[in-house]
Amino acid sequence: MAQTNRTDRQRIGAKGRQTEQTIKDAARKVFARDGYLNARITDIADEAGKSPAALYNYFDNKREILEVLLQDFMDLVVDPSDDATPVSRYTRATLRSDVAGFWRAYTEFLPELVGVHHAAAVDSEFVQVWMSMREVGVRKIARLVSAMQAKGSVDQDLDPYVAASALSSMLEHSCYLWLGMSAQGSGRPASDDQAIDTISYLWSRSLGIGDEVL
């Protein structure tokens, strides 16, 4: 992910960090309200109570702000060490807990996660950012698929990574549709719990995960 050209974030003082955080908070509000593609740098400056000139001391454009917000998300939420978490004690309850955790994170970081989805539609570099964000989760799911193949619950002909990417896509797009877009119509869950329970059930059935440990 590209680094800002305007400010060395390791060297700015406390006041500078506070101003930068104010701008990022304002950008999140504008991205949530207007969408990333429609957001304007002047709107972000207004929301932050800063002049556009002051904002440009920290960020070149809205693209750079989104990059930094996504890096913050990665630092706070995506733990590479989780890739090594053993799946030997995985159960239906563990699965639901993981799905619920992703749902909560998506809710908390909605402006960034919807923003990268929209940015990727017009900027190929954000496609790579998006793929790197989901890589840890896909690897973890692939290990789970492999474990269930060894147990005989999943067809041996399935490629674990393709299956993992497909399952992850179901979860991601459900979050995008129901949380990010607030889409109405047939099939919209009545509550967060219904959404989480439904996705967890479909995953557990497709992988043959029950209440017992693997």
- How would you class 194 by CB atoms within 10 Å of its CB: exposed for 0-12, middle for 13-18, buried for 19 or more? exposed
Q: Is the same domain home to 189 and 143?
A: yes
The reply to whether 106 falls in a domain is yes
* Segment 17-25 mean pLDDT: 95
pLDDT tens-digit readout, 24-53:
999 999 999 999 999 999 999 999 999 999
Determine the structural domain holding residue 125 and report its residue range: 79-207
pLDDT tens-digit readout, 111-153:
999 999 999 999 999 999 999 999 988 999 999 999 999 989 9
- The whole-angstrom separation of Cα 151 and Cα 170 is 24
pLDDT attached to residue 8: 57
The reply to whether 51 falls in a domain is yes
More confident position, 36 or 4: 36
14 pLDDT band, cuts 50/70/90, is confident
| Torsion angle of C-alpha atoms 11, 15, 17, 20, degrees rounded to 10 | -120
The reply to whether 140 falls in a domain is yes
- The whole-angstrom separation of Cα 192 and Cα 100 is 9
- The whole-angstrom separation of Cα 86 and Cα 109 is 27
Residue 3 has pLDDT above 60, yes or no: no
The reply to whether 1 falls in a domain is no
C-alpha dihedral sign at 74, 77, 82, 83? negative
The CATH number of residue 192's host domain is 1.10.357.10
- How many domains is the chain partitioned into structurally? 2
pLDDT tens-digit readout, 153-196:
999 999 999 999 999 999 999 999 999 998 888 899 999 999 99
The CATH number of residue 64's host domain is 1.10.10.60
